[in-house]
């Protein structure tokens, strides 16, 4: 690259990276600093450095239970998204052709781009006691059924799966579509039946997409607070709602920052564990 070209490249890149620095990297560093303070460092308040926020965040058993609960919630939401999403992606990528595929694909990922909050709210209407689902089930069931799904962990899982399912379908679809047809025909001509082709050929080749999708679901769900609040009610306290409370209700920002950093550490560990597979998915 010549000197002018280098300058031009730098000029094109700089605005985006300066913006990301101001909006993402500096704030994350500020939060790290903040998590080590005794009190907010604004105005004329007294503050000093301390590790107390981390000891409190790590030793309080309630916080540990909530972190475990959030991880478990994210695990189940991810599992359901994969179970429901893989067949859907497979059908779209390998069984349907032409214009109807384009239309169906768009239909499947369209909700992903509509407001998450609004979709959670719509589940609240469906699941509420004596709501639409209750009535629909009772209309076909010969005996009275009391579902009472609202304000339960089930409601939270349903709402979150609804929010994040399209991610898994999208990433899995992309890796399934990239599979060369001739590979499958070769396996078939060598006498392999469908279950064997699925297990030995399609699943391994789709794995990068599935893992990428699973990570895209797991990461935001661990930190979710809006869905648990709206669909979980009293049982909907999670690590995410705990952090939210520190910032908007209790105003203990240093503790909130420490809790956020612990969550970030957990998420980064998970991303690191998945990164070999993700790198394969990217190429």
Distance between CA atoms of residues 254 and 246, nearest Å: 9
DSSP 167-236: HHHHHHHHHHHTS-HHHHHHHHHTT--HHHHIIIIIHHHHHHHHHHHHHHHHHHHHT--HHIIIIIGGGG
Distance between CA atoms of residues 277 and 153, nearest Å: 30
Instruction: Provide, rounded to whole angstroms, the least separation between the CB of residue 214 and other proteins.
Output: 14
Instruction: Provide, rounded to whole angstroms, the least separation between the CB of residue 112 and other proteins.
Output: 9
Instruction: Provide, rounded to whole angstroms, the least separation between the CB of residue 55 and other proteins.
Output: 20
Is the CB of residue 105 less than 8 Å from the CB of residue 173?
A: yes
Instruction: Provide, rounded to whole angstroms, the least separation between the CB of residue 242 and other proteins.
Output: 10
- Closer residue to other proteins (CB): 69 or 101: 101
Tokens read off for 21: 């620095």
**Sequence-separated (6 or more) residues with CB below 8 Å from residue 155:** 123, 127, 149, 231, 232
């Amino acid at each position: 690259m010549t000197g002018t070209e280098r300058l031009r490249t730098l000029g094109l890149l700089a605005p985006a990276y300066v913006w990301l620095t101001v909006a993402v990297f500096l704030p994350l560093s500020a939060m790290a600093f903040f998590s080590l303070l005794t009190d907010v460092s604004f105005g004329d308040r007294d503050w000093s450095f301390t590790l107390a926020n981390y000891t409190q965040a790590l030793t309080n058993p309630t916080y540990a239970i909530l972190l475990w609960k959030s991880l478990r919630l994210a695990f189940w939401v991810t599992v359901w998204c994969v179970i429901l999403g893989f067949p859907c992606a497979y059908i779209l990528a390998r069984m349907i052709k032409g214009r109807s595929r384009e239309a169906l694909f768009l239909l499947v990922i369209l909700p992903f781009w509509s407001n998450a909050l609004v979709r959670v709210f719509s589940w609240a209407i469906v699941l509420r006691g004596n709501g639409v689902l209750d009535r629909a089930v009772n209309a076909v069931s010969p005996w009275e059924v009391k579902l009472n799904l609202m304000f339960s962990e089930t409601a939270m899982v349903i709402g979150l799966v609804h929010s994040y399912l399209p991610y898994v379908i999208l990433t899995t679809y992309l890796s399934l579509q990239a599979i060369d047809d001739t590979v499958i025909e070769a396996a078939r001509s060598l006498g392999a039946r469908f279950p064997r082709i699925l297990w030995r050929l399609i699943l391994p080749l789709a794995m990068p997409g599935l893992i990428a999708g699973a990570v895209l679901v797991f990461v935001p769900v661990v930190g979710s607070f809006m869905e648990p609040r709206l669909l979980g009610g009293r049982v909907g306290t999670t690590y995410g709602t705990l952090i939210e409370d520190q910032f908007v209700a209790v105003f203990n920002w240093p503790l909130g920052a420490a809790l956020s950093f612990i969550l970030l550490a957990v998420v980064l560990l998970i991303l690191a564990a998945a990164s070999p597979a993700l790198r394969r998915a990217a190429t």
